[in-house]
Amino acid sequence: MVNAAALAWTHHGSAPQWQTLYVPGVLSLICIVRLAKWHLRRNDRPTPEQAVRKMRGTVILAGLFSICFGFWGVSLYPFGDAYQQSHIAFFLSISAISCVFCLMNLPPAALVTAGSVFFILIGNFMFSGQPVFTAISISVCFISLAFIHVTHSNFDNFVSIVRISDILEQKQKETVQLGVMNAKHALEDQLTGLDNRRSFFEKIDQVMKTAAGGKPPVIGLIDLDGFKPVNDVFGHAAGDSVLVETARRFRKILQPGTTIARIGGDEFGFILPSELDADEASTIANALCLALKDHYETPAGIARLSGSCGIVVSQERHVTAASLIEQADFALYQAKSKQNGGVEIFSEQHTQLLHERTSIERELRIGDLRQEFYLAFQPIVDLKTGEVVSFEALGRWHNATLGEISPAAFVPIAERCGLINDVSLILLRKAIDALDELPLDCRISFNLSARDICNHIDALKILSLVERSGVATNRLEFEITETALLSNFETAERMISLFRAAGIKVALDDFGTGYSSLSHVHRLAFDKLKIDRSFVQQMENDVRCRNIVKSVVDLSANLGIDCVAEGVESGAIAAQLKAIGCSYGQGYHFDRPLSFQNALSLARSAGRQRVALRA
């Protein structure tokens, strides 16, 4: 437009007014309108289809503007002198070159503009008969070719930059999407779609920060009772389907505004509003546990579960999230210790028990366990001869701070805090030392925890201690409970095979109270079954218990293994056991757990032959 205005000014007076004023004015006005539209839409982000249409329109307009301005310029040629005619040539050349630069990112438009203007320039000046104009035309042609080449090169670079920008933008979008997905996955359980452990704890913190009046929310933990056998019997795919269905049932029960999360393998947690009281919270917890009792249909068969739940409804204003979780976990532990599970609300009584547990755990970590732990020895008697054939070594603990601590108290705590194997190794060392002093025909039975046999490293530590001691392994017997097998049956099977290969006998303790099947008894090839005391003690008054005991005795005989009855409290029970063919008995009727010196005296005396005959 500036060049056109200058050309019109230099021809004003020599050319008609419509050529020097109206024509360039109309063309310039159209350019101004076009420029205004570009300015107003400079921040628009058109779609690829819209961009293509706009670029095609630009190419067309570039050609029209070039032709119009070009023919207008040469139309002034007859009205000027040599200087004015030279100005026309200058106008066409400079306009073409400047437009090529401006349109270099759209080569078709640049080519159309250059071609239109140069065609008009060459057509009018190349054959004008003026050597100067001819030379100018030729020079402009070569310069234009060079500019066109540069334009194409720059456009190639521009295309590469655009492509790289598109790639980078796409990668950025993918990165953002990946970040969103990772953030979601970091807070979501992938199997059930519930919140995961991390999200559960974060939400507790958030709720506690915004709780009205500073009252903390109601926290609950639920554990699926009987889930491990589902995995063992039906497989992990069935276990996964059970967890997914459990999540669906929980979602259906809980109202919006509450949180349900899967925080462990078969453990779930929930957060309820702080306005709920203990009865309301208990009602919801019972509903969740009740939902678990409906049968589960899996591809491998029907599964049946139950649930244990611990909840804490705290009235304290300055309690921490960690203490709430600890209290709910303790309440859950108390619920699971009961025969039928159910719901347990954390109470003042639990506060005292939790304090005791914390104290015991602290002493397990800092106490002189080698000095404080000791063994008591309970005789195991041959029911036919009355001879004491072995002793069960029972772990005892007299702590310098807490005094005498029951195994029922310290064993579960040691298992929970990961110290049980240390305790087992200390007690086993003492049992092996005791074997060195007992008569050679006397054996010792030693109890192993679930972790001792279901953790590969811990089990190998046990076996290594036995081998390094040099004790005759046929005098040592390990007792394992049925429930211990459920922790990790495959590892337990391998470790039991290693124990038996080393010459150590293995007995299944508390038989009849756990979940293990007869196939487990067969696969693990136990050397002995120990009948749980709950059946033996009721033999005199309960026919069903007597029949169960007889069935286990017959099973042992059919498998060719020994059988020991625990909890023999009277001579009458001992006589019944002997009558049905039970091999060995153990209980207060024969003797209470003894100190090592008393057990040694009994093993060396003639009393070994009379202990089973006392009324």
Using one digit for the tens of pLDDT, what is the confidence trace for 342-381?
Answer: 899 998 888 888 888 889 999 999 999 999 999 999 999 9
The percentage of residues in the chain with a pLDDT greater than 90, rounded to a whole number, is 40
Q: Residue ranges of the alpha helices (H) in 470-508?
A: 482-485, 489-501
**CA-closest candidate to residue 609, choices 363, 428, 387:** 387
Listed range (275-279, 286-290, 294-298, 335-339) with the worst mean pLDDT: 335-339
Q: Cα angle at 569 between 565 and 575, to 5 degrees?
A: 65
Distances (CA, A) of 129 to 81, 82, 125: 15, 13, 8
pLDDT at 613: 44
pLDDT, tens digit, 9 for 90 and up, residues 229-254: 888 778 888 899 999 999 999 999 98
pLDDT, tens digit, 9 for 90 and up, residues 38-49: 778 877 777 878
Distance from the Cα of residue 191 to its chain's centroid: 9
What structural domains does the chain harbor? 2-167 (no CATH), 197-346 (3.30.70.270), 369-613 (3.20.20.450)
pLDDT, tens digit, 9 for 90 and up, residues 26-73: 888 888 888 888 778 877 777 878 877 888 888 788 788 878 877 887
| Rounded distance between C-alpha atoms, residue 428 and residue 435, angstroms | 10
For residue 397, pLDDT over 90 is answered with yes
More confident residue, 446 or 257: 446
Residues β-bridged to residue 399: 403
CB atoms within 10 A of CB 434: 18
More confident residue, 211 or 615: 211
- 612 pLDDT band, cuts 50/70/90, is very low
| Rounded distance between C-alpha atoms, residue 602 and residue 388, angstroms | 8
* Mean pLDDT of all residues in 590-615: 74
- For residue 135, what are the contacts with CB-CB under 8 A and spacing of at least 6? none
Distance from the Cα of residue 377 to its chain's centroid: 45
pLDDT at 615: 38
Distances (CA, A) of 47 to 23, 34, 44, 50, 54: 36, 21, 10, 5, 11
* Mean pLDDT of all residues in 273-287: 91
Mean pLDDT of the chain: 84
